[in-house]
């Protein structure tokens, strides 16, 4: 076993850390409050290679490995989880989906722009009646010969009003169940495609989340990804990698809160001494350090599995389940260590606590991760 990072890993970690501290930190409170994330910051992330981290350089990507991806995700998420979810969806779900399963034409037309940040992508699986139960797709795409006719509603779509390219999962043949589902590339601005109002959220408020409406949208046949009926497998395979990104996001949120709590505990005095000298505070910090370290190992193990070509369905579920639990638990503790100051925006920990919650919900809730894990261990 080799637990060391390469020089390239350390370099990219430092680049991401500098970007997060120098460019994301100022304004993060206002972005959260205003529910905004400027295009200029997305452009900068594109210039740094963060929008197509693992994409082959021949398609404009950075050609890095999954370990690099999680190192970048952790650094961005320590400061701004709204920034990191834009990166995560674009990388794990959209770029990966097109690179792994798309046609050469689709890669040339879309991936080359998505990988550089010129385009932003969205992944559209969830519906009002299909969240955890993703096979219950009500959105339909009817084969009309040269094109598919798309009708339906998608819910909770990250980058909903920002994206140029939407990967939309839809039922093409109800009788075939999950084998009658396909995935289509839909361009923004296509006739009949409407974007609903922005959701007013608890956390990751800088990230825009919208419902989408498709009314008789014509999708060219060439925009279907993979063989007929591949859509559900596509969604499950891409989400498996997506969970590594969200696990890294949770890890970053936890680490960010821990670093703030550690610093504050050495500054704040009560009863004539720094609060870090009170054992109950010191033990909270010890628990944070221990459990965040464990989460980091699980996240890196899942990333390593993907880089090695191993199956990562279970290791990504384990990493997401655990890292999100640690993020939720220890952001609450970070607020507690800050006392009253933890309850106001200037100290950042209340935002991290709000941001942590989503990591237990999207890309499969914690309950769904437990289904994946328990099915696997009971089958073996």
Contact assessment for residue 345 and residue 33, using Cβ atoms and an 8 Å cutoff: yes
Task: Rule CB under 6 A: say whether 190 interacts with ligand FAD.
Answer: no
361 touching ligand FAD, by CB under 6 A = yes
Q: Pairing state of beta strands 269-270 and 209-220? A: unpaired
Q: Which of 24, 42, 71, 157 binds ligand FAD (CB under 6 A)?
A: 157
As a whole number of angstroms, the distance between CA 39 and CA 21 comes to: 18
**Is 284 among the residues that bind ligand FAD (CB under 6 A)?**
no
Confirm or reject binding of residue 321 to ligand FAD (CB under 6 A). no
HEC string for the chain: CCCCCCHHHHHHHHHHHHHHHHHHCCCHHHHHHHCCCCHHHHHHHHHCCCCCCCCCHHHCCCCCCHHHHHHHHHHHHHHCHHHHHHHHHHHHHHHHHHHHHCCHHHHHHHHHHHCCCCCCEEEECCECCECCCCCCCCCEEEECCCEEEEEEEEEEEECCCCCCEEEEEEECCHHHHHHHEEEEEEECCCCCEEEEEECCCCCCCCCCEEEEEEEEEEEEHHHECCCCCCHHHHHHHHHHHHHHHHHHHHHHHHHHHHHHHHHHHHHCEECCEEHHHCHHHHHHHHHHHHHHHHHHHHHHHHHHHHHHCCCCHHHHHHHHHHHHHHHHHHHHHHHHHCHHHHHCHHHCHHHHHHHHHHCCCCCCCHHHHHHHHHHHHHHC
**Which segment (60-68, 120-128, 178-186, 259-267) binds ligand FAD by CB under 6 A?**
120-128
| 170 vs 260 by CB, closer to ligand FAD | 170
> Between residues 151 and 365, which has the closer beta carbon with respect to ligand FAD?
365
CB of 374 to ligand FAD, least distance (A): 10
In angstroms, give the least distance from the CB of 19 to ligand FAD: 23
Per CB under 6 A, does 349 bind ligand FAD?
no
Size of the site for ligand FAD (CB under 6 A): 22
Nearer to ligand FAD, 233 or 277 (CB): 233
CB of 239 vs ligand FAD, minimal distance in Å: 9
Min dist. Cβ of residue 309 to ligand FAD (A): 27
Q: Which stretch binds ligand FAD (CB under 6 A): 1-9, 23-31, 119-127, 240-248?
A: 119-127
166 lines the binding site for ligand FAD (CB under 6 A): no
The residue from 124, 167, 261, 300 that contacts ligand FAD (CB under 6 A) is 124
Q: How far is the CB of 156 from ligand FAD (least distance, A)?
A: 3
Interface with ligand FAD includes 347 (CB under 6 A)? no
163 binds ligand FAD (CB under 6 A): no
Beta strands 165-171; 269-270: pairing state: unpaired
* Residue 296 or 354 with smaller CB distance to ligand FAD: 354
Binding mask 198-227 toward ligand FAD (x if CB under 6 A, else -) reads ---x--x----x------------------
Q: Looking at 74, 291, 350, 363, which residue is catalytic? A: 363
- Quick check: is 363 catalytic? yes
Which residues make up the interface to ligand FAD (CB under 6 A)?
89, 123-126, 131-133, 156-158, 201, 204, 209, 358, 361-365, 367-368
Q: Which residues are catalytic?
A: 363
């Amino acid at each position: 076993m080799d637990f060391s990072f390469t020089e390239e890993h350390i370099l990219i970690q430092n680049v991401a850390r500098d970007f997060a501290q120098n460019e994301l930190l100022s304004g993060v409170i206002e972005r959260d409050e205003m529910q905004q994330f400027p295009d200029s910051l997305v452009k900068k992330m594109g210039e740094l290679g963060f929008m197509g981290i693992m994409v082959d350089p021949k398609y404009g990507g950075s050609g890095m490995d999954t370990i690099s991806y999680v190192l970048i995700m952790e650094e961005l998420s320590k400061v701004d989880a709204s920034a990191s979810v834009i990166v995560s969806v674009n990388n794990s779900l959209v770029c990966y989906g097109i690179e792994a399963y798309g046609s050469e034409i689709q890669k040339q037309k879309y991936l080359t722009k998505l990988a550089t940040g010129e385009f932003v992508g969205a992944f559209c699986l969830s519906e009002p009646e299909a969240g955890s139960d993703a096979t219950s797709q009500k959105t339909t795409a009817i084969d009309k010969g040269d094109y598919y006719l798309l009708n339906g509603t998608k819910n909770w779509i990250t980058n909903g009003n920002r994206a140029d390219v939407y990967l939309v999962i839809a039922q093409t043949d109800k009788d075939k169940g999950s084998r009658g589902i396909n995935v289509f590339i839909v361009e923004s601005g296509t006739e009949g495609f409407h974007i609903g109002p922005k959701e007013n959220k608890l956390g990751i408020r800088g990230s825009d989340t919208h419902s989408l409406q498709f009314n008789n949208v014509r999708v060219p046949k060439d925009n279907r990804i993979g063989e007929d009926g591949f859509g559900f497998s596509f969604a499950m395979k891409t989400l498996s990698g997506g969970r590594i990104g969200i696990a890294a996001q949770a890890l970053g949120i936890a680490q960010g809160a821990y670093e703030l709590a550690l610093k504050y505990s050495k500054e704040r005095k009560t009863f004539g001494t720094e609060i870090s000298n009170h054992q109950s505070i010191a033990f909270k910090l010890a628990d944070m350090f221990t459990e965040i370290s464990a989460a980091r190992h699980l996240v890196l193990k899942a990333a390593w599995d993907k880089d090695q070509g191993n199956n990562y369905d279970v290791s990504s579920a384990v990493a997401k389940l655990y890292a999100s639990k640690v993020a939720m638990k220890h952001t609450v503790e970070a607020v507690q260590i800050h006392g009253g100051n933890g309850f106001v925006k200037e100290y950042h920990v209340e935002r991290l606590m709000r941001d942590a919650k989503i990591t237990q919900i999207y890309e499969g809730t914690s309950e769904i991760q437990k289904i994946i894990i328990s099915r696997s261990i009971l089958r073996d």
